Amino acid sequence: MRFSLEKKLVLIYLLVVILLTGVLGIVLTNAYRTELMNVRLADLEQCANDVTYLINAGILNYPDSLAMNYGLSTLVQNYNAVLQLLDTNGNILYEITADGMLKGGTQKNLDDAAMNILRGGNNYIKTGYYNDYYDAVMVTLAVPILSNENNGEMRCVVYLSSGMTSINESYYRILSKLWLPIFSSVIIGIVLVSFLTYRVTMPLKEMSIASRQIAKGNFDKVLDIHSNDEIGDLAQSYNTMAKELAKSEKMKRDFVANITHELRSPITSISGFVEGMLDGTISQDDYNHYLNIVSVETRRLSKLIQEMLDLSRVESGVFPLNKTAFDINELIRRVVLKFSQKLDEKHLDLDIVLPEEKTLVFADPDRIEQVVQNLFDNALKFTPDGKLIRIYTEVSADTVSVFVADEGQGIDETDLPYIWDRFYTVDKARTSSKNGTGLGLPIVKKILEQHDQTITITSQLGKGSVFTFTLELYKNNKKEYGL
């Protein structure tokens, strides 16, 4: 049988309440019963004091007097007790009851332990025992009367007995009145706990249902937040998780769609031209022209696959960073030399503002070369013929900033937040060139994030864009870098 969290909480509450009320009830009722017993013993002790006074006054010298017959009877009647006067051996000398009758000669012995207590001048108390003679549960107080003469020896014993019926009746009356409010409190508590438990568990149930929807691919379920506590925080975290999962799922679908499109285009071109050559549709005189196209598409396909692998490796951490100190200016010059032919083909002007002295940075030179290469290649693609590309650096206290600026068409503000996403291209806003794969900038951003550095872009339509990234300045402190 499956117990829900709500049932478990209510059951725990019931067990705790029953345990606490049971213990509290027992403690309180026993304390009340003990208090009643103490009050009764105090009454018997007062009665014993009155009897002691009469005995010391000499009432035992006149056993047939009215004081003996009616005085003591009235006294014990007022205290609702049975009085026995015992000799020093525990035998009954006189027995006085509430009906005023005086009895004697009945054998009533106290055990030796009790008599030893009394001979020592101490009172003897016995409670909660059953007396066959009176057919009742009794409480007894025995008080020794000591002689003022003969070295204070015990003269006789005042033995007072009283039934516990009134005490028990009062105890049970209190007990019956006590359980009613306890039972009512338990019922009210169950209602309140059930309500509060419902308020706590309902969001959890909603999360459980929504989680099953997420498992089925439905990310549209949003939880309503009704409380500003841990449950509310959990619901907020769930909504954030659902939003991120929805975004991730959309990115995955877009990735599959984009990669399919990007792969299909060169493969279709290659396949079409090769089949045209095989079936004779394309004449041999045109083979060189179309083979050049196939070669370009093959290189494009190879580049796309390589960039996908690079991005995947960077994101998964397969590319561990091999940080070392190197001259960023020299690295930039080396990258620019690789693109000198393309610069000449587009008749682009290049303005490089780099200091003659070395500017040492602490990073992975291979990864940073990839960053500079991607940014410079990006500037080449989207800068019209005859325009200018500028590269320069600025050194601050702890970092070196590298700027790559072009005079292209710029990027619209609505596109700027998305340029770091995979396969996102803004060709329509800049140029008709189709050489981009939409993976270069995401790779750049991931590499710089691995270096704990940043990259930003400022762009104006019709004026161009400026990419700026930072690198850690090398301070020639080997201990600081663990070298």
Is 35 buried (19+), middle (13-18) or exposed (0-12) by CB count in 10 A?
A: exposed
State the Cα–Cα distance between residues 387 and 251, nearest whole angstrom.
35
Q: What does residue 217 show for φ and ψ, rounded to 5 degrees?
A: 95, 10
For the chain, the distance separating the N- and C-terminal CA atoms, rounded to the nearest angstrom, is 63
Residue 186 pLDDT more than 70? yes
- Residue 295's nearest CA partner among 287, 284, 285 is 287
Lowest-confidence segment of 278-282, 379-383, 464-468 by average pLDDT: 278-282
Residues 295, 434, single domain; the answer is no
Residue 27 pLDDT more than 80? yes
* Domains contained in the chain, number: 3
Within 8 A by CB and 6+ apart from 360, the residues are 325, 326, 327, 328, 473, 474, 476
466 pLDDT band (50/70/90 cuts)? very high
> Considering 315, 349, 370, which residue would you say is the last residue of a domain?
315
CATH number of the domain to which 417 belongs: 3.30.565.10
Q: Are 223 and 31 in contact (CB under 8 A)?
A: no
Q: Are 189 and 13 in contact (CB under 8 A)?
A: yes
Residues 460, 414, single domain; the answer is yes
> Considering 171, 188, 205, which residue would you say is the last residue of a domain?
171
Quick check: is 212 in a domain? no
Write down the pLDDT at residue 390: 94
Residues 294, 379, single domain; the answer is no
Quick check: is 214 in a domain? no
Residues 304, 370, single domain; the answer is no
Within 8 A by CB and 6+ apart from 410, the residues are 429, 430, 459, 460, 461, 462, 463, 464, 465
Q: What is the largest CA-CA distance in the chain?
A: 161
State the Cα–Cα distance between residues 321 and 53, nearest whole angstrom.
106
Q: Please state, rounded to an integer, the average pLDDT across all residues of the chain.
A: 80
Write down the pLDDT at residue 389: 93
Q: Give me the percent of the chain exceeding a pLDDT of 70.
A: 85
CATH number of the domain to which 242 belongs: 1.10.287.130
Q: What does residue 156 show for φ and ψ, rounded to 5 degrees?
A: -165, 180
Structure tokens at 442: 């995401």
User: Which has the higher per-residue pLDDT, 114 or 231?
Assistant: 114
Residues 337, 384, single domain; the answer is yes
Torsion sign, CA atoms 254, 255, 257, 262: positive
State the Cα–Cα distance between residues 68 and 54, nearest whole angstrom.
9
Residue 130: count of CB within 10 angstroms of its CB: 10
Quick check: is 306 in a domain? yes
CATH number of the domain to which 15 belongs: 3.30.450.20
Quick check: is 473 in a domain? yes
Structure tokens at 327: 């001259």
Quick check: is 197 in a domain? no
Residue 105 pLDDT more than 70? no
Write down the pLDDT at residue 318: 62
Residues 255, 355, single domain; the answer is no
Residues 25, 55, single domain; the answer is yes
Convert the pLDDT of each residue in 41-79 to its tens digit: 898 899 889 888 888 877 777 666 666 667 777 888 888
Rama region for 217: left / alpha / beta (φ>0; ψ in -120 to 50; rest): left
- Residue 466's nearest CA partner among 417, 387, 410 is 410
Most confident of 71-85, 105-119, 281-295, 431-445: 281-295
Quick check: is 61 in a domain? yes
Element (H, E) at 129: strand 124-131
Residue 13: domain span: 5-171
335 pLDDT band (50/70/90 cuts)? very high
Q: Are 56 and 169 in contact (CB under 8 A)?
A: no
Q: Are 85 and 68 in contact (CB under 8 A)?
A: no
> Considering 283, 315, 347, which residue would you say is the last residue of a domain?
315
Residues 365, 380, single domain; the answer is yes
State the Cα–Cα distance between residues 426 and 195, nearest whole angstrom.
56
Residues 409, 260, single domain; the answer is no
Mean per-residue pLDDT for 255-280? 80
Write down the pLDDT at residue 433: 42
Write down the pLDDT at residue 205: 78
Write down the pLDDT at residue 256: 74
Q: HSE (CB half, 13 Å, CA atoms) of 94?
A: 22
Residue 481 pLDDT more than 90? no
Mean per-residue pLDDT for 231-244? 81
Residues 358, 282, single domain; the answer is no
Residue 202 pLDDT more than 90? no
Rama region for 420: left / alpha / beta (φ>0; ψ in -120 to 50; rest): alpha
Q: What does residue 105 show for φ and ψ, rounded to 5 degrees?
A: 90, -10
What b-and-e string marks burial along 414-428, b requiring 16 or more CB atoms within 10 Å of the CB? ebeeebebbbbbbee
Mean per-residue pLDDT for 81-87? 85
Q: Give me the percent of the chain exceeding a pLDDT of 90.
A: 17
Residues 63, 115, single domain; the answer is yes
Write down the pLDDT at residue 376: 93
Lowest-confidence segment of 93-107, 237-251, 466-480 by average pLDDT: 93-107
Structure tokens at 138: 């009794």
Mean per-residue pLDDT for 176-182? 73
Convert the pLDDT of each residue in 356-377 to its tens digit: 889 999 999 998 998 999 999 8
Quick check: is 223 in a domain? no
Quick check: is 404 in a domain? yes
428 pLDDT band (50/70/90 cuts)? very low
Residue 121 pLDDT more than 70? yes
Lowest-confidence segment of 203-217, 318-332, 336-350, 375-389 by average pLDDT: 203-217
Within 8 A by CB and 6+ apart from 421, the residues are 251, 438, 442
Residues 302, 326, single domain; the answer is no
Residue written as token pair 């000499």: 58
pTM to 2 decimal places:
0.49
